[in-house]
Amino acid sequence: MPLFAKSSTPRQGGSTGAPLPPAALAPAAPPAPAPVARPPAAPAPAAGRPAGPPRPVGPPPGTPPVVGVPALRPGVARIPRGEPLGQVLVRMGALSVEDLEAAMARQKADGRKLGEMLVAEERITRDQLARAMAVRMGVGVFTLGDGVDPSLGRLIDEKSARRYQAVPVRLDPDGRLLVAMADPSNVFAIDDLRILTRHEIRPLLASPEEIQTLLGQTSRLDAVVADLVQESGGDDTPLDQADISDASDDAPVVRLVNSLIARAAEERASDIHFEPQAKEMVVRFRVDGVLRTVTSVPYRLAVGVASRVKIMADLDISERRAPQDGRVGLTVAGRPLDLRVATLPTVYGEKIVMRLLDKSNVMLTLAELGFAKDVLAKFEACYRRPYGAVLVTGPTGSGKSTSLYGALNQLNSTDKNIITVEDPVEYRLAGINQVQVNPKAGLTFAAGLRSILRCDPDIVMIGEIRDKETAQIAVESALTGHLVLATIHTNDAAGALTRLTEMGVEPFLSASAVAGILAQRLARRLCSHCKQEAMIPLATLKELVDLSVLPPGLPDPVSVYRPVGCARCQDTGYRGRVGVYEMLVMSEAMERLTVAGASGEEIARQARREGMRTLREDGLLKVLSGHTSIEEIALAVG
């Protein structure tokens, strides 16, 4: 029971005295009027300004700050005396006029603050109080769910952030910095922050707990590295290995590695690369398929960092000349995360790559991956069949396994025996028997598959069909009453059929075994905050996407979107990815073609006659719907 209480009550804000628990600001309560809607009774100081949160203290943007002058006079104007709190609460509908009058009478008697008293008496929620206070001060309310742009953390150093209880969260389109603050009425803090960040500041009200959470999230990597250098002494002797294996959580190297992993998870990175170079160890994240340098660690500490990562993954830290690999499960910010660690000896030392497998990603439904409705319906019809083979094809990193896991998630139920053979097991799924290929122990895909078939499976998932034996067993089991899901490495859907033939599977067998083939790619998704609309002539579009025929009914010129780049997307113009798909559903005509030894092109042509959209066409749809750019589709599909 105490355990329960520990995990649930603090966020519920059960105790009355606690100042604004995080949950209090969550958007659970009825939506309060937006803070920008100023009361008509707004006092004189605010009347001259446009409705909205107070502009920061000081001269207009662009003017160099005048030290010492700005705080006082404008400061007075910045704290609108506002309408009384009780009145705001009434206007929000949180309190009736009668209740307010009664409460004010009681308040006179015991002298408490009206808001606190109302919360204590449970007449209003803390959320309502926070919102009312914010309306009164003319500032917005910050909620953790709104998301924070981690790249802005560098604008305010940690020390100032702690001193002012202020964390930058977003940039306005007009360049104003939105800062979550425990006390948005602190004009001196706002003024200092404006000078510090060289941005106009728009404060948002946040609870002290939320500020703490934010400070934890945005603690700067570089600062952690700097601390590490300081703590480990100034000399050049490499860190002793004993220091490193001391896994206490506050050891500097441990802190650094932990912050790196936390930051990577936060930025949705799929990999962390630790790359030793001549004088330092460069740390890079791969986000949406693209690598980016995030920090560098002095060479002296590089061995320490490498060793720490190896200890985590249970690798041999004394072995630095042979590649190793391992894995570790962690929980980062409440999310279960599987890390796969691989080392590679390079001339400057061991390069280490950590792959982050976020289990919550697998739980993405197929629709969230970017499937068009009709394509998803066809794919689902295939994998819901009681038997047959469903193949997913595409190059490495095209999201094949995510699609297969998505299908497995749908199929996973207690009345089915689902077994997978994978290399490596990327995600661990509850209720599914997953087998890791291990050639050293003689457990190849083919051997694993043969053993699996002796274990009475209903559904078999094969990580990859890459040899003749696996291909043959896969096709045979699909023909003998099993549903087989597998990936295979080809460029397009029809190519999978000819690939099976090349691997030595009799075409008449694969023709009747294969139910459907999904070919796919991943394209980066345009950042919704900065993408820009552009009108281009149809002729140009046709040329750019290299299609012989465009879908009918398109206007000319047609609207597409272009990447721009903002703080949210690390100036790349893209954030996240969207799948591009080509779904071939096997038909009698295609079976005949396969048996007759037709080429991939011939089969694809038949599939298109029967309504298959090619990768390129599906990509174009994603361009026209504004999800991605022409350049990105050309890159992903071209």
For Zn ion, the binding residues (CB under 5 A) are 527, 529-530, 566, 568-569
Helices (H), 514-625: 538-545, 588-595, 600-609, 615-624
Within a 13 Å sphere around the CA of 105, how many CA atoms are in the beta-carbon half?
6
C-alpha 516/C-alpha 493 separation (Å) is 9
Query: What SS3 state is found at 151?
Result: helix
C-alpha 422/C-alpha 461 separation (Å) is 8
For residue 86, give the nearest of 105, 101, 71 by alpha carbon: 101
Tokens standing for residue 451: 């053993």
Residue 256: left if φ>0, alpha if ψ -120 to 50, beta else—which one?
Answer: alpha
Residue nearer to Zn ion on the CB measure, 527 or 584: 527
Please name the residues in contact with 476: beta carbons below 8 A apart, sequence gap of 6 or more. 509, 513
Torsion of CA 48, 50, 56, 62, to 10 degrees: -100
Residue nearer to Zn ion on the CB measure, 313 or 530: 530
C-alpha 38/C-alpha 35 separation (Å) is 7
Cα end-to-end span (Å), the chain = 58
Q: Cα dihedral sign for 465, 470, 476, 481?
A: negative
Q: Which residue reads 């083919």 in tokens?
A: 446
Torsion of CA 475, 480, 484, 489, to 10 degrees: 0
Q: Which residue reads 């600001």 in tokens?
A: 25
